[in-house]
Amino acid sequence: MKIVILGAGALGSVLAGHLKRAGEDVKLAARGERAKYLKEHGITITGLVDFTTPCTVVTDPKSISEADVLIVTVKTYDMESALASVSHLGVSSVLSVQNGVVKNEQLAKVFGKEKTLGAAAMFSAEMMPEGPVRFTLNQCFYVGELPEGTSERVRNLVEALDRSGIHAETTLRIQTIEWSKFVGWAGLMALAVLTRLETYKFLSDSDTAIIGARMMRETAALADKFNIPLEDRPPLAVKTIASVSERKAIEKLLESGAVMESRAPTHRLSTLQDLERGRRLEVEETLGYVVTKAGEQGVPVPTVETCYRLICGINRFV
């Protein structure tokens, strides 16, 4: 299987490193100092695993003519320019591990709906200043056909990922999983940026958990407006959080905080990592999307909009 990974940040490096070590034909599209480092030192992964592997690094994506699978891992605000660099690519399947739900529309616009797969990355990693990547959470990488169903190409990709050490599963309901992740991520992202704490800390505090619960419940109301069912899936029971009383929703988040403390105490959202490194934040394509679509659909999202405006202000000075 010929695999191209577009973006050599934390998740792109974790995917490329694992797949390459497992013997897959992988090309990693990188740029600038990151590309130079990877060419000289290879991909180093620490944390849950510890290895270094060489990988084919490409600085000009236009030099790649074809692939079986394209996996996009760039930040949401870089999506349009990144896709323009690979729009010529002859590829069978494309998918994105990005946060939010706009990604599938963007991929389909460039490559067509028939080539676009749904994906939800329930794993995380952090780029270290010296170059290696610390792999912090390997829960699951879900892949499925859109809007639902599975196929041979999905199963082949999932088998390759799973063999490499990235826990992966096929799913018949990828849209539900993508939105369930997004609902949870919206609350986590806002709290991570506004508190600058490790994930378990703001989930374990009753005051910050209130804000998280309200963010998730408002975003869930938008999913309901689109007739997209949600589900409870670790690390967050978003379906339950959206359907029970606010008090019980807060209790569920506090429980999640205790689980995160025991299983991933160093976990920090990628958005917080970006903030601390002085990088732009993924806000317009995520919280901004919720605010815009909620306005169009007549869904009130006061907590989401308040946090969106605050984070937009922070983003202007990053």
Cβ contacts of 17 within 8 Å, gap of 6 or more:
43, 44, 45, 51, 53, 55, 133
Question: What whole-number distance in Å separates Cα of residue 268 and Cα of residue 198?
Answer: 5
3-class SS at 151? coil
- The secondary structure of 211-237 as a DSSP string is HHHHHHHHHHHHHHHTT-----BTTB-
Question: What whole-number distance in Å separates Cα of residue 235 and Cα of residue 184?
Answer: 9
Question: What whole-number distance in Å separates Cα of residue 286 and Cα of residue 100?
Answer: 5
Q: Residues 53-71: what's their mean pLDDT?
A: 96
Domain 2-172 has what CATH class? alpha beta
Cβ contacts of 197 within 8 Å, gap of 6 or more:
191
Tell me the backbone φ, ψ of residue 270, rounded to 5 degrees: -60, -30
- Mean pLDDT (the chain) is 96
Cβ contacts of 60 within 8 Å, gap of 6 or more:
none
- Per-residue model confidence (pLDDT) at position 270: 87
Per-residue pLDDT band for 18 (boundaries 50, 70, 90) equals: very high
pLDDT in tens, 175-220: 999 999 999 999 999 999 999 999 999 999 999 999 999 999 999 9
Question: What whole-number distance in Å separates Cα of residue 222 and Cα of residue 286?
Answer: 13
- Per-residue model confidence (pLDDT) at position 237: 96
pLDDT in tens, 280-313: 999 999 999 999 999 999 999 999 999 999 999 9
- Per-residue model confidence (pLDDT) at position 114: 98
- Using a pLDDT cut of 70, give the percent of the chain over it: 100
- Per-residue model confidence (pLDDT) at position 266: 87
pLDDT in tens, 222-256: 999 999 999 998 889 999 999 999 999 999 999 99
Q: Residues 67-71: what's their mean pLDDT?
A: 98
Q: Residues 10-32: what's their mean pLDDT?
A: 97
Question: What whole-number distance in Å separates Cα of residue 80 and Cα of residue 158?
Answer: 26
Question: What whole-number distance in Å separates Cα of residue 215 and Cα of residue 206?
Answer: 14
Q: Where in the chain are the domains?
A: 2-172, 176-316
The domains spanning 2-172 and 176-316 adopt the same CATH topology:
no
- Per-residue model confidence (pLDDT) at position 221: 98
- Per-residue model confidence (pLDDT) at position 318: 82
Residue whose C-alpha is closest to residue 58's, from 44, 39, 41: 39
Q: CATH number of the domain at 176-316, out of 2.102.10.10, 1.10.1040.10, 3.40.50.360, 2.40.30.30?
A: 1.10.1040.10
pLDDT in tens, 119-144: 999 998 999 999 999 998 899 999 99
Q: Residues 98-111: what's their mean pLDDT?
A: 95
195, 227 contact by CB (below 8 A) = no
128, 34 contact by CB (below 8 A) = no
Q: Where on the phi/psi map is residue 116: left (φ > 0), alpha (ψ -120 to 50), or beta? A: beta
Question: What whole-number distance in Å separates Cα of residue 266 and Cα of residue 261?
Answer: 8
- Per-residue model confidence (pLDDT) at position 264: 85
Task: Give the angle 26-31-34 at the CA atoms, nearest 5°.
Answer: 85
Residue type, 129: P
Question: What whole-number distance in Å separates Cα of residue 248 and Cα of residue 4?
Answer: 44
Q: Residues 17-42: what's their mean pLDDT?
A: 97
- Per-residue model confidence (pLDDT) at position 72: 98
Paired with 122 in beta bridges are 140
